[in-house]
Amino acid sequence: MEPLQLPAGGKPSVDFVKQLQQSMLDASWKGVGALSQVVPAKLVTQILTKVSNILDAEPTLLEVQPSVSQQRVTVVGDTHGQYIDLCRLFDLFGQPSAERIFMFNGDYVDRGAWGVETLLLLAAWKWALPRNVYLLRGNHEGAYCTKHYGFFAEVMAKYGAAGKTIYKNMLRLFSHLPLAALVEAKVLILHGGLFRAPPAKTKGQPRPRCIQDIDEESLELGTLDDLRAAGKGGVDPDPDHSLAQLIASDLVWSDPSPTAGMGHNMLRGVGQVFGPDVTERFLSQNGLRLIIRSHEGPDARHKRATEQKMPSVGSGYSVDHETPSGKLVTLFSAPDYPQFAAEGEERYHNRAAVLHLSAPDYATPAVESFEAVLPRPEAAPYYDTAGGAADSEESTESMGRELEHHSSDTEQASPVAAAGISNSKQQVAAAAHDKPQQEQQQQKAAAAAAAAADGCQSHPLQQAAHSPSAARSSKKSRTEQGAGAR
């Protein structure tokens, strides 16, 4: 397994990206230690640094107008570290090219065993074809979720001593991801759902700094102009930390509802739920015909309360709201999800899907679905699937409190030393189960490095990950509700 390096000239060609894809696919069958042999830490850093700069130059709301030669836009939902299935997706539906745009709708990492490979492949495509590959932000692209759903421990297991720096660079890349994309001024693509507009500044009054400083019921539904003016959310979008992150937080965490109106997302403890009337108002006011969102897999839909039941996404796709102005649909692209389930937990064996938007209409998507690649390479989870970290049980309360030194969207320092980590030693040790002795030693070293890098084993967030009641009590309406980080 020869280590890869960038071609002469220092920029990846399409052929290089294809070679990277195959090399990482081969390595996934050879155990956790194989990735760093074919993709050295130096190459990882080169890719992350360059792509972070590309993303930084992109606006919060991408406005994409395909050229005559780019008449098809393929939209991909959550992939969640299921790299083998991502490779199958490309095999089935084609790869990015100068004639074809791919739009990835967030949640590239966590809960699957190959989040590093997934992120690196998509980043390499972005670098090679920046005007034909677009990466949007999901709720898992931040410090909070990646500490509790395995990605941090995965990075440390695969890159050891270099893992801390690599993780910092990944967080920097996440903070630069655009939040949404507008295709031909009629299709809006975003990860979670609709959002509120921040309160207007009152003359002579200081601007409120966090959500606790205002009456939330006074907030209005946001607009595309509000989204254009918004920041990207910093390290972890959280209005409890900074009101400037309100739109980013709502956008990556919110969910559609069958019930009219817009209100607090009780299931997740962050973001909003919104009904068909709100979708219709947003479509009408902004001249849209279609909203494509992701964020909910089959488990999320199954575990909703009866009064909040929505259509199944077992085929990878559902029409959630159909209104006079258009539709809101959910797209999920991780088949047989989640990869790891607690003992005795039901498996949904869902299919995944992609949407193709084609000229001249673009707002009438063609759906194609596919099944998971089985069997998958041997792997074990990097998070505790049985310890309360299931999506429907985790609380996201106070996720920004650990990051208070990040006071604006522009700060780049990593929260590695400040954020909490859940069970990093156990996660990495579990990933070594039944592996060769050498790999067990590598993962034990990674666990120790993860704990040393974090230095915060008793952070309140660790408790919150296992008990919604452990969340903060500073705002009653938020602390009485559990949250899910699907």
In Å, what is the CA distance from 74 to each residue of 14, 61, 369?
18, 18, 12
Q: Is 302 a catalytic residue?
A: no
CA 313 to chain centre: 18
Exposure class string for 203-237: b at 16+ Cβ within 10 A, else e: eeeeebebbeebebeebebbebebbeebbbbbbbb
d(CA 382, CA 216): 37
**Closest by Cα among 277, 266, 235, 271 to 145:** 235
Q: For every residue of the chain, which 3-state class applies, written as one string? A: CCCCCCCCCCCCCHHHHHHHHHHHHHHHCCCCCCHHHHCCHHHHHHHHHHHHHHHHCCCCEEEECCCCCCCEEEEECECCCCHHHHHHHHHHHCCCECCEEEEECCCCCCCCCCHHHHHHHHHHHHHHCCCCEEECCCCCCCHHHHHHCCHHHHHHHHHHHHHHHHHHHHHHHHHHCCCEEEECCCEEEECCCCCECCCCCCCCCCCCCCHHHCCHHHCCECCHHHHHHCCCCCCCCCCCCCHHHHHHHHHHHCEECCCCCEEECCCCCCCEEECHHHHHHHHHHHCCCEEEECCCCHHHHHCCCHHHCCCCCCCCEEEEEEECCEEEEEEECCCCCCCCCCCCCCCCCCCEEEEEEECCCCCCCEEEEECCCCCCCCCCCCCCCCCCCCCCCCCCCCCCHHHCCCCCCCCCCCCCCCCCCCCHHHHHHHHCCCCCHHHHHHHHHHHHHHHHHHCCCCCHHHHHCCCHHHCCCCCHHHHCCCCCCC
Q: Name the catalytic one among 80, 140, 241, 295.
A: 140
Q: Which residues are identified as catalytic?
A: 140
